[in-house]
Amino acid sequence: MTRPFKIHRLEVGDLKKMQSLVALLNEVFEEYHSVGSDKQLEKLLSNPDFHAIVAIEDDIIVGGVTVYEMARYYSDKSELYIYDIAVKTELQNKGIGKKLLDFLKAYGRENNIETIFVEALSDEDQAVKFYESTFGKREKVDHFNFEIKIDGA
């Protein structure tokens, strides 16, 4: 059982925590992407439609979720899209991920959010089981990526 942790939404000025969150995501996913510049991370933190929620234990980020809020044009309600969610490997299955999602659900109830959705690769058994245990409704969708080539990159 883990020690008590608190859930906190990162805000403008939480640059170091945001960098720690990205480092945690890289570590858990074993996908060592570079971290955006300070300017880019501050831009995200100042965007009211971007949410970075972290679980903190003893001043260390042990879990987190990044979310985009999307206004809908056929309803006055919005949706939340979970971009990434992760918990330190050694602390998984201890309720931290569920608490992060509970925080999002409470935020949704308070802010006219109708839906929270997330994608998981079908062969990522642990992620699929986690979402089934916390969200409920599963839908089959096909996901398409369109790469944009930028000159000079």
Residue 149 is assigned to a structural domain of this protein = no
Residue 80 is assigned to a structural domain of this protein = yes
Number of domains in the chain: 1
The reported pLDDT for the residue numbered 20 is: 96
Residue 151 is assigned to a structural domain of this protein = no
Mean of pLDDT values over 87-97: 92
Which of 2-6, 56-60, 71-75, 76-80 is predicted least confidently?
2-6
Domain assignment of residue 26, given as a range: 6-134
Q: Is the pLDDT of residue 1 over 50?
A: no
The reported pLDDT for the residue numbered 152 is: 64
Residue 121: how many CB atoms within 10 A of its CB? 9
Mean of pLDDT values over 52-66: 96
Model confidence pLDDT, tens digit, residues 3-50:
688 999 999 999 999 999 999 999 998 888 788 899 999 999 999 999
**CATH number of the domain that 44 lies in?**
3.40.630.30
The confidence band for 151, taking pLDDT boundaries of 50, 70 and 90, is confident
Residue 147 is assigned to a structural domain of this protein = no
Q: Mean pLDDT over all residues of the chain? A: 89
Q: Is the pLDDT of residue 56 over 50?
A: yes
The confidence band for 99, taking pLDDT boundaries of 50, 70 and 90, is very high
C-alpha–C-alpha distance, residues 131 and 120, integer Å: 9
Cβ proximity of 29 and 85 under 8 Å: no
Q: Is the pLDDT of residue 122 over 80?
A: no
Q: 14-33 as b/e, with b when 16 or more CB fall inside 10 Å? A: beebbebbbebbeebeeeee
Residue 148 is assigned to a structural domain of this protein = no
Residue 30 is assigned to a structural domain of this protein = yes
